[in-house]
Chain A
Amino acid sequence: MTDAENRGFTLWFTGIPGSGKTTLAEMAMNEIHDRGVKAELLDGDVIELNLNKGLGYSKDDIITGIKRVGFVCHLLSRNGVVAIASATSPYREARDENRRMIGSFVEVFVKCPPETCAKRCSKDVNKGPHDTGKKGCDGGTGPYEEPLNPDVIVETDRETREDGLARIIKKLEAMGYIPKKEKKTRGALQKEEIYSVEEEEKIKERLKELGYI
């Protein structure tokens, strides 16, 4: 793995309660661990019981909560750890501010119609706006601003979580954040794709005529 691939980054799952953020986040963490990369999941229990304890339901409090999670992700990422956050994070402005602060930031929009999410939610495990979803939902009564330009969109009412995860992982591989499981090397090129001795001589002649060698 190159130095670049060893750098930390933040994988931020956003979506309304019940959309399936934490399920995907946990699957992503396992997949990233399998590739030998350190990762930490910040989800419901961690957020509600530690970082955002005492915060209420006002817009200011929710934004403060999103920024606190972002700050922890920033600390982890800059020290080479992959930070995975699963949080409703309903305000675009706060998410975008986290992207600016962290830099290496991959936003996954977990999209699902509210009515489907509501059916998934269990009323007796209401966890609050700073959320989670691990054990239930917060009811999703507040506004939610969809990302304008997320890196990945997973539509959990239209695709399986395995398919969604596969697209997230493919994106992370394409962006160079995580190594592929089976690393392809340049040696994988077929022999006939390389120039023959005659062809290389021909190219050298052309380069000489152009004054390049």
Chain B
Amino acid sequence: MVFKLKRSSKKRGLFVLSLDGVPFTFLKEQMSKGILPYMKRLFEEGGFRRMNSVLPPISSVAWSSYMTGKNPAGHNIFGFIDRDPMSLKLFVPTGFNMKCKTIWERWSEEGKRVVVMNVPVTSPPRPINGILISGFLAPSIDKAVYPPSFIPVLKEWGYQIDVDVQRARVDRRFFLEDLKRTTQMRLKAAEWLMDQEDWDFFHLHIMGTDRINHYLWRRWEDGDPYFSPAFEEYYKSIDQFIGLSLIPFLESRKDTALMIMSDHGFCRLKKEVFLNTWLKDRGFLNLKSDRAKSVEDIEPNTKAYSLIPGRIYINLKGREPEGIVDPDKGYKALLENLKAGLLQLKDKETGERLIQAVYLRDEVYKGPYINQAPDMIALPENGYDIKGNVDQTDLVQETDMEGMHTFDDAFLFIRDHEIRADAFSILDITPTLMTLLGLHPYHDLDGHSLI
């Protein structure tokens, strides 16, 4: 393949580069150290600010909010795993469960041509006016691409949707090679599409930043002689793509705006916190047997159960199959009781608090799918990653994972524009994109344009 950038156009457009899970504070620090010189120079040409994610701050929820402009109760994606309240059966929410249109579907209906690459939760791909290559959660390339006629092209290129996470967990050196290969292939495919396709809106998503943060953050922070430089090299490769491919390409499309962003922050993972263990110990959660593997196996006398990360559900009469908590009597008191208990949780070894905040459903969600939402969300202190396993005996445990997501440290950069807000969230991105594209933001979006 030859990736020669040859198309020149004055067409108005917008390019979004998203770097999954890259924190504002991390980027700022690396830029000041001179590790990311192209980004440093570029970010002086516009607004660069810290941004809040959504609750819970995980990629499937955050990108669903980005691509619909709605909070989770407006799009129905609340986590990587969810439960059917009628049966308590667990399922993996996908694009199929997303109950509203994405911005690229809506723009397609207005005649805009869009290219979307590798964004999570876009599988199964929905028809658009352009090309969509799904990202994380797509089971295979065969079910990841619209139009399907583009599938053989991607296969010929050796395009991979994601790294081999199973092998990554046990072999970090293999992971690095796999990550490098996958990312380079994605960037080359993006360069080809940028140049060869006609588009008004182009979104290229890099998942690899999230992956490397999960698997190598601690070793990077600790200055591991092999992995720490490799970690920085990976970020440098993204920086070089921006400086040596993306910016020169955009020189040929002077009227194309540029946004670079992440969906959540990241920090060092110290320990994992198993909230269902706490609920069991306090008598709120009872399982059918010691061998129970998930909340599908709760006893009818259960009052509350939890799904990752920090989502807490009341076993509500009329909603859960064998609900016992009366929504009019006892529901509110139970929530207050749980909230008070969660805020007191501590790591016995260090004395550190485990939970920084607890939000009730109605405080953070609004929309037609609020009944699918958890009744309460616990946001952990940085370093303590909340899990949903039911088969653990200790509340706090060590782990081999090295990084975890944070809520308030995503970033946003918009070239040639000041960001006119002090505090904002990923919900404000969608209307901002529309303003950059010269469209009036749809009236049903939850956020506000930042420019």
> Do these two chains really belong together in a complex?
yes
Interface set of A (CB-CB < 8 Å, partner B): 2-5, 7, 9, 103-106, 149, 151, 170-171, 173-177, 186, 189, 193-195, 199-200, 202-207, 209-213
A to B CB contacts below 8 Å, 27 in the list: A2-B368, A2-B444, A3-B368, A4-B444, A7-B443, A174-B107, A174-B109, A175-B106, A193-B96, A193-B124, A195-B96, A195-B124, A195-B139, A203-B137, A203-B139, A204-B81, A204-B92, A206-B166, A207-B81, A207-B92, A209-B166, A211-B214, A211-B272, A211-B387, A211-B399, A212-B80, A212-B308
B169 at the interface (CB under 8 A from A): yes
Assess the B139–A175 pair: CB atoms within 8 A: no
Judged by a CB distance under 8 angstroms, whether B99 is at the interface is yes
Q: Which residues on the B side are within 8 Å of A103 (C-beta)?
A: 443
Min C-beta distance of B296 to chain A, whole Å: 13
Which interface class (under 10, 10 to 19, 20 to 34, 35 or more) fits B? 35 or more
What 1/0 mask marks residues of chain B from 73 to 92 whose CB sits below 8 Å from any chain A CB?
Answer: 00000001100000000011
Verify if B440 is at the interface (C-beta below 8 Å from A).
yes
- Please give the distance in Å from B16's CB to the nearest CB on chain A: 20
Q: How many A-B residue pairs have CB under 8 A?
A: 85
Encoded as 1 (CB less than 8 Å from any A CB) or 0, chain B from 47 to 86 comes to 0000000000010000000000000000000001100000
Using A186-B99, A195-B124, A199-B143 as known contacts, list a sample of 18 further A-B pairs with CB atoms less than 8 Å apart, ordered by residue number in A: A2-B444, A3-B368, A9-B443, A104-B443, A149-B438, A173-B109, A186-B96, A189-B96, A195-B96, A195-B139, A203-B92, A203-B139, A204-B81, A207-B92, A210-B165, A211-B214, A211-B387, A212-B58
Q: Among B99, B137, B385, B443, which residue has its beta carbon within 8 angstroms of that of A211?
A: B385
Q: Does B250 contact A (CB under 8 A)?
A: no
In-complex Cβ contact of A174 among B99, B110, B162, B168 (8 A): B110
Residues of A within 8 A of B80 (CB): 207, 212-213
Kindly state whether residue B432 has any CB partner on chain A within 8 Å: no
Indicate if B277 sits at the interface (CB-CB under 8 A): no
State in angstroms the CA–CA spacing of A80 and B162 once bound together: 46
What is the predominant secondary structure among interface residues of chain B facing chain A? loop
Q: Which residue of B lies closest to A148 (CB)?
A: B438
A204 to B165, CA, bound (A): 12
Q: Which residue of B lies closest to A77 (CB)?
A: B443
Cβ of A174: which chain B residues have Cβ within 8 Å of it? Answer: 106-107, 109-110
B388 within 8 A of A: yes
Tell me the complex Cα distance, A171–B162, Å: 36
B442 contacts the other chain (Cβ, under 8 Å)?
Answer: yes
| B306 at the A interface (CB under 8 A) | no
